[in-house]
C-alpha cells in the first residue's frame, strides 16, 4: 500500500479541522489531525476519541508499528520525533534553513544533508514523518493520510524528501474572522495577530511556489462551508479519487490529534453539518478592523475578501 499525504497548509482557526474531518469520510483517506503535536514529549494530550493519546489503543498500535519500522527501542522513541523539529518566532526575513526548504530544491537539500548535521536533522525528521504515514496507510488500508499541521517548514521538509507523494491544500479564511477567533481565545494584541496571519500565509505562498500545480490546490473556508459539495468534488478530482456524497462532520470512528475545540466536543458517533461562522462581522469594532486593514488588508483582498 503506497502512502500519500494530503497536507493542509495555512493559518490556524481557518477551518482545517472541518476539512480534515470531511476528507476522512472517504474510504481511501484517513484523517490524522495536527501531527505537529503528536508524541510531543510525555503529556496528557487527548485523541479525538476522548482518551489520552498515550492510552488510546489506536495510537499505541501506530506507535509500536512506527518503532518497528524504524527498528528502534522504547528508550529511543523520543529521539525520532514527528512533531516539529524546532519552533521559533515568526520572521519577516527567513533563516537559511527556511530559505533552503522554501526553494524546494530536492537535490541540493539532500546533498547538503550529507555535509551538514543541522540539515540532516531536518532530513531525518522528514523520514520519521513519512515512516509514520506509511505505517498508518498500511494499518488503515488507505491511500492517503491527512496532516493538518499547517506549518510551511513542516510542509517543505516533507516535500524535499518525497515530492511525488505530497498533495497540498492551501486553506485560507478571511483574516478578520481568524482575528476574531484569536481574540475570543484570550489574545488581545490585534496588530500582532494580524501580522501573524499575514506572515504565515505569505510563508505558505512562498513555499507553494516550488510545488507543481498538479500537487497543490487553493481553497477558501467560506466556499467550503457554503458550497461544500462543489468544493469537495474539486478536491476529490485533484486527489484522483472517486467522489462520495458524505459531507457530515463525525459519524465514524476517528482518532485525530486535536488542534481545535470542535474535536473535543465531537465524539466519533456524533454528526453535525458544515456551517459557516461569520460572527466576526457583528462583533469586531471599527477600530479593530482598521488596525487589521493597515497590517494585513492587502493580502486579505488578494485572497478575494473585500469590504
Flag whether 193 is in a domain. yes
pLDDT attached to residue 1? 43
Residue 63: domain span: 4-302
Cα dihedral sign, 141-1-169-159 = positive
Distance CA 116, CA 176 (A): 41
Flag whether 183 is in a domain. yes
Flag whether 8 is in a domain. yes
4-10 and 166-172 strand pairing: parallel
Flag whether 11 is in a domain. yes
Total tally of structural domains belonging to the chain: 1
Flag whether 54 is in a domain. yes
Predicted confidence pLDDT, tens digits, the chain (307 residues)? 468 999 999 998 999 999 999 999 999 999 999 998 888 766 678 888 888 888 999 999 999 999 999 999 999 998 888 987 554 443 444 455 665 666 667 777 777 777 777 777 888 888 999 999 999 999 999 999 999 999 888 898 899 889 999 999 999 999 999 999 999 988 889 999 999 999 999 989 988 988 999 999 999 999 999 999 999 999 999 999 999 988 888 777 888 988 766 666 667 777 788 899 999 999 999 999 999 999 999 999 999 998 7
Flag whether 253 is in a domain. yes
pLDDT attached to residue 102? 61
Flag whether 307 is in a domain. no
248-250 and 271-273 strand pairing: antiparallel
Q: What is the CATH number of the domain that holds 173?
A: 3.40.50.300
Which string of DSSP letters, residue by residue, matches 183-203? HHTT---HHHHHHHHHHHHHH
Amino acid at each position: 500500500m503506497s502512502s500519500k499525504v494530503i497536507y493542509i497548509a495555512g493559518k490556524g482557526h481557518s477551518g482545517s479541522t472541518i476539512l480534515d474531518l470531511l476528507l476522512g469520510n472517504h474510504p481511501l483517506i484517513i484523517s490524522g489531525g495536527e501531527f505537529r503535536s503528536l508524541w510531543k514529549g510525555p503529556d496528557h494530550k487527548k485523541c479525538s476519541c476522548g482518551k489520552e493519546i498515550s492510552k488510546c489503543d489506536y495510537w499505541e498500535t501506530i506507535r509500536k508499528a512506527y518503532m518497528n519500522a524504524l527498528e528502534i527501542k522504547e528508550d529511543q522513541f523520543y529521539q525520532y520525533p514527528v512533531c516539529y523539529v524546532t519552533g521559533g518566532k515568526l520572521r519577516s526575513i527567513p533563516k537559511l534553513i527556511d530559505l533552503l526548504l522554501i526553494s524546494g530544491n530536492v537535490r541540493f537539500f539532500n546533498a547538503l544533508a550529507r555535509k551538514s548535521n543541522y540539515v540532516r536533522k531536518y532530513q531525518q525528521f522528514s523520514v520519521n514523518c513519512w515512516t509514520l504515514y506509511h505505517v498508518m496507510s498500511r494499518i488503515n488500508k488507505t491511500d492517503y493520510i491527512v496532516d493538518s499541521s499547517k506549518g510551511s517548514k513542516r510542509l517543505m521538509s516533507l516535500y524535499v524528501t518525497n515530492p511525488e507523494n505530497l498533495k497540498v491544500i492551501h486553506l485560507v479564511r478571511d483574516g478578520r474572522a481568524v482575528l476574531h477567533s484569536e481574540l475570543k481565545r484570550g489574545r488581545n494584541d490585534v496588530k500582532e495577530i494580524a501580522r501573524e496571519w499575514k506572515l504565515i500565509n505569505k510563508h505558505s505562498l512562498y513555499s507553494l511556489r516550488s510545488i507543481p500545480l498538479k500537487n497543490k490546490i487553493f481553497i477558501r473556508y467560506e466556499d467550503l462551508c457554503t458550497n461544500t459539495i462543489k468544493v469537495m468534488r474539486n478536491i476529490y478530482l485533484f486527489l484522483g479519487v472517486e467522489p462520495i456524497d458524505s459531507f457530515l462532520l463525525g459519524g465514524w470512528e476517528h482518532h485525530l490529534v486535536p488542534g481545535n475545540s470542535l474535536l473535543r466536543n465531537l465524539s466519533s458517533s456524533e454528526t453535525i453539518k458544515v456551517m459557516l461562522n461569520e460572527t466576526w462581522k457583528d462583533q469586531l469594532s471599527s477600530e479593530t478592523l482598521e488596525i487589521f486593514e493597515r497590517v494585513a488588508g492587502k493580502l486579505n483582498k488578494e485572497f478575494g475578501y473585500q469590504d
